[in-house]
Structure 1
Amino acid sequence: MKLFETIECGEVYFIAEMSGNHGGSVDKAMEIVRSAAEAGADCLKLQTFTADTITIDCDSPDFQTTPGGLWEGRTLYDLYEEAHTPWEWQAEIKEECERLGMDFLSSVFDPTSVDFLESIGCEMYKIASPELVDVPLIRYAASKGKPMVISCGMGGIDEIADAVEACRSVGNERIVLLKCTSEYPAVYEDMNIATMADMGARFGCAVGLSDHSMGWGVDVAAATLGASVIEKHYCISRKQKTVDSEFSMEPAEFSAMVRDVRRAKASVGRVTYERSEREERGLAGRRSLYAVRDIAPGEKFTSENVRSIRPAHGLAPKHLDDLLGRAAKREIKFGEPITAADL
């Protein structure tokens, strides 16, 4: 498991979230695993629930999906029945992840899901945003002593603090908090990823982004603000309609995101006013003082016969005012640099 190893190296850890994009096919699930590894994911994430462990089969208004949302017109039970990943697949998926050099992660939704994942050797746990307020669940998962990745969508400061304290109350300090906007897809103006850095400072945890927006511009921005983890939903193609395909990344997009996030992270660097080696080679491209007319000995330097121009083989331009009005001590040809001796 390379989560904290990657974070401690100052690099970004990429999670590809399969969710229900397998569409009920184990073959499609395995295709997604292999594709995610090829696209550069460090980790493949599932969700470990059944419709019965996450809700009840009830069609009253309380159990209908949100009006106007992506899944409008369905009961929660019906949606989760379609979206769940059968538990009998998960050990095989985990083994394939490990064979391909990826970590395996899953979201837990009740104690039975934690117990099941323990039985197959899961090395870390994810808490989804809606479960942020389920303090007993968080405490139970954290009690296993494994890293906790917690999405904080819809979470207020007190709710996030409760989740962090639930982990720490059982001696678990290996916590990653993910800024998340629980919209599908998320609107850029609602992302407020500046909050992510504040979460890190406020709670003393590693931070990252669970991103439901389209594209990867937000993820590049998050990298420059200190994100250690980026999580994106992943599918083979959005043309293959599944419960989460509308806001999922395709392989080429995920690969481009990994590339651009790493470039952004590398470009932040450190605070320095030293020139790089490549910059040193470019110093000749600066300006300096040159004779732009022939200047005879004894002739005064003027703005007509001396100018600040490129390249930088002459006296620095800051000396121009000291030079003007002085008499030349030597003959200086057009195109010759002015030197310190001319002062």
Structure 2
Amino acid sequence: MFEKTPFIIAELSGNHEQDFELAKAMIQAAAYAGVDAIKLQTYTPDTMTLDIRQGEFMVSESDSLWRGSNLYDLYAKASTPWEWHKPLFELAESLGLVAFSSPFDLSAVAFLETLNVPMYKIASFEMTDIPLIQAVARTGKPIIMSTGMATLDEIEEAVAAIRAIGDNPLTLLKCTSTYPARIEDSNLVTMADLATHTGCSVGLSDHTQGLGAAVAATALGATVIEKHFVLDRSAGGVDAAFSMEPAEMKALVDACRAAKAALGSVTYGGSDAEQAAKKYRRSIYVAVDLPAGTVLTEDHLKIIRPSFGLAPKHWPDVVGKTLSVAVQKGQPLAWDMMA
């Protein structure tokens, strides 16, 4: 599905602060950082919620970054204007990036299809929206889906909804849907279990602060890493608190690439690069000058580096042997020296 893995996505979310020039600068900085893709979110406040300013339409959680916000106003602030999508996608593509989005309702899917996006992302809070998932599946395009706080039954139901329509390439992302997420809540070992249950490739949508979870996920086989992106955390942005700045994103990209390279393949006996070093193993050498006919004792021999003599395992076999030739200190011991 991806030319290289992990496929690293910079999520712009609402960190552009409704500034088109800032959104463009973010894409340029993400490209410089070495990511593979840029992802937008396609919604309006009206496609997300109702304009009601009380009760459950207010963010009330005490530990939320957005405590006290009205949902409608929050989504209005965080949304990416639909007229920006085409020029932002074109900019990303001109920089060699894959550009796509998360739709949040059916109208967003229809709109993104007019832009011929190459793939889709289903956000973790939308993965129980089966009609939305079915609409995305009907495009026939690859799907990346965050699992967030979903149960295994809910995940399997969403996967089944896709599979009932087509064989879209599908990647499921382990995701902790708190903002920011605690590193100890990542539970990355779930990825392997998720792959076993669904037969899908897996990855990580990472809301932790820092790059540790992403690197660990890469080492555990993640094919996708998604991370929120911001130019300057101190300047603000709805997701700034758990987003990476350009230098941090570059460090994440480099670390994940290194982690993937380090995985390699099952190898015994040393890599090609190690073969020359084998001469520095230990072996049995003559430690003193000796005439022919000498019966070898432990005082005559020494196990040292390098490895041009007999292997140390032969020590019990050579002690007590008789030399058939004279030998000098520093000669590697060989079978043809002994009677």
- Give the TM interval when normalised to the shorter protein: over 0.9
Structure 1 counterpart of 2:125: 130
RMSD across aligned positions (CA) = 1.5
Q: Percent identity?
A: 46
Query: What residue ranges of structure 2 are gaps of 5+ in the alignment?
Result: none
Separation in structure 1 between the aligned mates of residue 138 and residue 318 of structure 2, nearest angstrom? 76
Separation in structure 2 between the aligned mates of residue 46 and residue 129 of structure 1, nearest angstrom? 15
Q: Deviations for 1:204-231, whole angstroms, at most 9, x for unmatched residues?
A: 1121111111221222221121111111
SS in 2 for 1:45: strand
Structure 2 counterpart of 1:24: 18
Q: Deviations for 1:110-153, whole angstroms, at most 9, x for unmatched residues?
A: 11111111122222111101111111111112111111110011
Output the TM-score relative to the length of structure 2.
Answer: 0.95
Structure 1 residue 47 and structure 2 residue 44: aligned? no
Look up the equivalent residue of 2:42 and give its one-letter code: T
Separation in structure 1 between the aligned mates of residue 111 and residue 240 of structure 2, nearest angstrom? 27
Q: Deviations for 1:288-333, whole angstroms, at most 9, x for unmatched residues?
A: 1112233333333232221211111111111011111222333222
Structure 1 residue 326 and structure 2 residue 321: aligned? yes
Look up the equivalent residue of 2:284 and give its one-letter code: L
Separation in structure 2 between the aligned mates of residue 37 and residue 298 of structure 1, nearest angstrom? 75
Separation in structure 2 between the aligned mates of residue 305 and residue 228 of structure 1, nearest angstrom? 58
- 22-31 or 247-256, larger mean C-alpha shift: 247-256
SS in 1 for 2:299: coil
| Offset at residue 171 of structure 1 (A) | 1.2
Structure 2 counterpart of 1:60: 54
1:1-343 superposed matches below 5 A: 4-6=1-3, 11-65=5-59, 66-343=61-338
SS in 2 for 1:198: helix
Q: Deviations for 1:226-251, whole angstroms, at most 9, x for unmatched residues?
A: 11111111111212211111111111
Look up the equivalent residue of 1:151 and give its one-letter code: S
Separation in structure 2 between the aligned mates of residue 69 and residue 330 of structure 1, nearest angstrom? 84
Look up the equivalent residue of 1:86 and give its one-letter code: P
Look up the equivalent residue of 1:210 and give its one-letter code: S
| Offset at residue 40 of structure 1 (A) | 1.0
| Offset at residue 269 of structure 1 (A) | 1.5
Look up the equivalent residue of 1:54 and give its one-letter code: M
SS in 2 for 1:133: coil
Separation in structure 2 between the aligned mates of residue 130 and residue 188 of structure 1, nearest angstrom? 20
SS in 1 for 2:14: coil
Look up the equivalent residue of 2:264 and give its one-letter code: G
Query: What residue ranges of structure 1 are gaps of 5+ in the alignment?
Result: none
Separation in structure 2 between the aligned mates of residue 268 and residue 183 of structure 1, nearest angstrom? 30
| Offset at residue 274 of structure 1 (A) | 4.2
| Offset at residue 33 of structure 1 (A) | 0.9
SS in 2 for 1:126: strand
Separation in structure 1 between the aligned mates of residue 241 and residue 305 of structure 2, nearest angstrom? 54
Contact 1:146–1:172, Cα closer than 8 Å, also in 2? no
Contact 2:141–2:168, Cα closer than 8 Å, also in 1? no
Separation in structure 1 between the aligned mates of residue 62 and residue 42 of structure 2, nearest angstrom? 26
Look up the equivalent residue of 1:108 and give its one-letter code: P
Separation in structure 1 between the aligned mates of residue 74 and residue 152 of structure 2, nearest angstrom? 30
Look up the equivalent residue of 2:3 and give its one-letter code: T
Contact 2:230–2:237, Cα closer than 8 Å, also in 1? no
